[in-house]
Amino acid sequence: MSLNTIAINQRMDKFDSHDSVWLFGYGSLIFKADFPFLDRRPASIGGWSRRFWQGSHDHRGTETHPGRVVTLAPEAGAICHGMAYLVTPEEFAHLDHREKNGYLRLATEMHFEDGGSAEGIVYIATHENAAYLGPASERDIARQIASARGPSGPNSEYLLALAQALREMGKPDEHVFEIERHLAALGVRQPDA
List Cβ neighbours of 112 (8 Å cut-off, separation of 6 or more).
41, 42, 43, 84, 118
List Cβ neighbours of 92 (8 Å cut-off, separation of 6 or more).
9, 10, 21, 105, 121
- Indicate the helix (H) or strand (E) that contains 131: none
Q: Say which of 99, 109, 178, 180 is annotated catalytic.
A: 99
Q: Report whether 108 contacts 122 (CB < 8 A).
A: yes
Q: To the nearest 10°, report the CA torsion of 136, 139, 143, 146.
A: 110
> Is 91 one of the annotated active-site residues of the chain?
no
One-letter amino acid at 59 equals H
Contacts 24+ apart (CB under 8 A), 189-193: 189/160, 190/160, 190/164
Q: Which residues are catalytic?
A: 99
